[in-house]
Structure 1
Amino acid sequence: MGYLLHMNMWQVADISFRSQIINFRSKLFLSLLVLTLGCFWLPLMAQAQNTPAPGGPYTVAVLDFYTNRSGFRNADSTEVGQAIPAILTTELANSDRFSVIEREQLELVLKEQELGASGGVTAESAARMKQLLGVDYLITGKVTEFVVEQGKSSSFSMFGVGSSSKAPDVAKVSIEVKVLDSESARIVATASCRKNIEIGKGSSSTNVGLIKTSSNNSSSSDSAMGNVYYAIAKDLADQLNTVKFKSLPAKVKYTGFVAYVEGDKVYINLGSKHGITQKMVFQVRRDEQKGSVKIKKTVAQVQVINVDEEASECQVLEVEEGNKIKNGDLVESKL
């Protein structure tokens, strides 16, 4: 009896489903019915994208800073571009506002997925990092100036008594930091560091006859330069911990699947009932293993040309070379 009742329920659903999309071809009717039975777990309605709470905590990744080498003097641009983000990562991790991706994990994913670790971030690369790392925001930086100026020296001598001193070296720094939304690469917050920072404490010496005393706080020591990097990272972290993140318009993503493919036409299981309108563009995607992670690969783009209550007809705009659209492929609206 339960079996008959179960069958009757599906028969009623089948008749209702067919009547709603009667304008589509008979092949579409059968494909939608079969795939609906097999893929009922796929989301059929518009889903609002999850966004972090207004005040955090935010999951972020700090990328290496881009360095303009023409703005460097007496400093290692590669070291600066890596050391400051590393310290900034630690400083942000110690705050309640941020949850930070570890540098080792970030570098592994960037290398494996062949994504740039610094410089420009595109909407596509930002979205891939969001997918792979689960980040809300990406923190990027650009060092436009890092000039180490030698401290001035002075000396004095009279009647066998003399002294000399050297002022500490000074690092002239100019750095711009941007916080990018990981879905669109749009800027939601900024911070900057423009200052002169003393490196060490300089040196001095005194001569009295044959007796000589001296003190030397070398500006070139690793610890002295490390203190400069820390001062910069601490300044940037303080700003990022208090700056208000710009609110972006709420985004809605529509997710469904391909029910049937015929030539350059694709039929999907989303219609006006789900908020679909003509000219909407969808990405056709499927799972692909790449290295140690599974990603959703975009294989094509389609555009809605006809809309029914439960389904839509789409025109194929482009297909990635070596791929083709298949029944059951995931479709997601472009944000």
Structure 2
Amino acid sequence: FDHERAVLVVGKSASTSKQKQSSSLSLSRQLNQNLISELTQARKFRVLDREYLAELTGEQNVLKSDDVAMEETLRLGQNLGADYLVVGTITDYRIDQKSKEVLGLTTVQHEAALVFDYRVIALATREVMWSGTYNEFFNHRRLRKLVPKNSGDRQVSDAMIAHAAHGVASELLDVIFPIKVLSMNADNEVYLNQGGIRVKEGEIFEIFLPGQKVVDPDTGLAMRLDGARVATIEIISVRAKFSVGRLVDGDPDQIYQHAISRRAGAAVVESMKTDTKAKKKKV
């Protein structure tokens, strides 16, 4: 790559009791490490974490605290030459067990939930590039897809955290290295500037106009909003360095070169499936 951007990853928990703080701090560190691993494998970043910072700066007490002021965290990141800062707060984490009897045999089933907020900040401008919330509930059936049968709490926790880190890392890549429009041909096929493992055939993407920059009244940090959605496309072909999408709806005249394209949310995808089924019934 021509330029390897540095990302500083810092996480914290929102628990109050000492027992919960200890558990959440361990969870925060595990989530950090999984996220660092995912971002490193993308081969687009140099990733700096708390341990690296502590060795380099000697500011052990500051970095061990979960109450680090945003201003101090920004200063540390800038001093280390980081381009971006990823910060987050874990607000809910739980794993529940329940016994179920089937044909005289008692089995233990798990349910789990993980919720955390996170932000991506460009240190040069102190602009919040993206903020999001990971909020997932894993019932027994969903967990069976992640872990083997009769897995313990630790295996469930590890799988849930790995799942969360993969999802958030993919979203961070979409923010820092957003997928953009290269061109559009006369057949309403839209060419995007990324392919490979980041885009899959059948995925739905939305295309947006440039948004405005606003200031968060709570933090004083600038953040850029997406503009109006102008089109929706479905990926029909993926190559190593680009992909091709078919225009599903929207105004082709509003699709311009370098426009931002983001994966559609679950609601949009589900709505499209419903519309497709309805059209088939009419036919």
Task: Report the TM-score, using the length of structure 1 for normalisation.
Answer: 0.44
- Whether 2:7 is the aligned partner of 1:60: answer yes
Q: Could you tell me whether the CA contact under 8 Å between 1:62 and 1:139 is conserved in 2?
A: yes
CA distance 1:165–1:193, shift in 2 (3 Å): same
- Whether 2:25 is the aligned partner of 1:92: answer no
| Alignment RMSD (CA, Å) | 3.6
Q: Could you tell me whether the CA contact under 8 Å between 1:126 and 1:183 is conserved in 2?
A: no
> What is the aligned counterpart of 1:112 among 59, 84, 89?
59
Q: Could you tell me whether the CA contact under 8 Å between 1:139 and 1:178 is conserved in 2?
A: yes
* Greater relative contact order (Cα < 8 A, sep 6+): 1
Q: Distance in 2 between matches of 1:247 and 1:89?
A: 30
Q: Which residue of 1 aligns with 2:161?
A: 229
**How much has 1:153 moved relative to structure 2?**
2.0
Q: Distance in 2 between matches of 1:143 and 1:173?
A: 8
- Whether 2:187 is the aligned partner of 1:187: answer no
CA distance 1:116–1:101, shift in 2 (3 Å): closer
Q: Which residue of 1 aligns with 2:30?
A: 83
Q: Could you tell me whether the CA contact under 8 Å between 2:134 and 2:164 is conserved in 1?
A: yes
Tell which deviates more after alignment, 110-119 or 87-96: 110-119
Compare the two structures and name the one with the higher helix fraction: 2
Classify the secondary structure of the residue corresponding to 2:98: coil
**How much has 1:146 moved relative to structure 2?**
0.7
Report the AA paired with residue 167 of structure 2. D
> What is the aligned counterpart of 1:164 among 85, 102, 106?
106
> What is the aligned counterpart of 1:130 among 65, 78, 82?
78
Task: State the structure with more CA Rg.
Answer: 1
CA distance 1:216–1:181, shift in 2 (3 Å): closer
Q: Could you tell me whether the CA contact under 8 Å between 1:189 and 1:243 is conserved in 2?
A: yes
**How much has 1:189 moved relative to structure 2?**
1.6
Classify the secondary structure of the residue corresponding to 2:76: helix
CA distance 1:58–1:247, shift in 2 (3 Å): farther
Q: Which residue of 2 aligns with 1:21?
A: none
Q: Distance in 2 between matches of 1:248 and 1:121?
A: 24
Classify the secondary structure of the residue corresponding to 1:151: strand
Classify the secondary structure of the residue corresponding to 2:11: coil
Report the AA paired with residue 83 of structure 2. D
Q: Distance in 1 between matches of 2:97 and 2:16?
A: 19
CA distance 1:228–1:126, shift in 2 (3 Å): same
**How much has 1:225 moved relative to structure 2?**
2.0
**How much has 1:102 moved relative to structure 2?**
5.2
> What is the aligned counterpart of 1:219 among 139, 152, 157?
152
After superposition, residues 1-335 of structure 1 pair within 5 angstroms as: 57-69=4-16, 76-101=23-48, 104-109=51-56, 111-112=58-59, 114-117=61-64, 118-131=66-79, 133-156=80-103, 162-167=104-109, 169-183=110-124, 185-197=126-138, 201=144, 217-220=150-153, 222-243=154-175
Task: Report the TM-score, using the length of structure 2 for normalisation.
Answer: 0.51
Q: Could you tell me whether the CA contact under 8 Å between 2:54 and 2:63 is conserved in 1?
A: no
Identity of aligned residues (%): 18
